[in-house]
């Protein structure tokens, strides 16, 4: 999920948090090998609604099945917030540069 960067290796790309939430809900019962998250998604939009969805799923005892969540963001504070939040809920999270 990234508002600007081309992600040529990606199977599906969401450009907003709304699209990201819809995409995850569409693939709720699938294994997701890699999930790439950018913190800032343009304007006032951010990845936080997606993070909330992932957190709530874990809280309910039914976390999304994701191999690795990669956080790639030019916003170091936002990226660290995402890493800490998802790590707390036992998602495998890595910082990445794109």
Question: What's residue 72's pLDDT?
Answer: 86
For the stretch 77-93, pLDDT in tens is 999 999 999 999 999 99
| Cα–Cα nearest to 91, from 43, 35, 46 | 35
pTM value is 0.86
Token pair for residue 15?
Answer: 């450009």
For the stretch 36-79, pLDDT in tens is 898 888 889 999 999 999 999 999 999 999 999 999 888 899 99
- How many whole angstroms separate alpha carbon 9 and alpha carbon 17? 20
Question: What's residue 10's pLDDT?
Answer: 55
Question: What's residue 15's pLDDT?
Answer: 81
């Amino acid at each position: 999920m990234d508002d600007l960067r081309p992600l040529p290796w990606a199977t599906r790309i969401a450009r907003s948090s709304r699209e990201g939430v819809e995409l995850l809900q569409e693939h709720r019962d699938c294994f997701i090998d890699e999930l790439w998250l950018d913190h800032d998604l343009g304007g006032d939009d951010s990845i936080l609604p997606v993070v909330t969805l992932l957190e709530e799923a874990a809280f309910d005892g039914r976390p999304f099945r994701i191999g690795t969540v990669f956080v790639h963001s030019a916003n170091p504070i936002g990226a660290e917030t995402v890493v800490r939040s998802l790590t707390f809920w036992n998602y495998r999270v890595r910082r990445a540069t794109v």
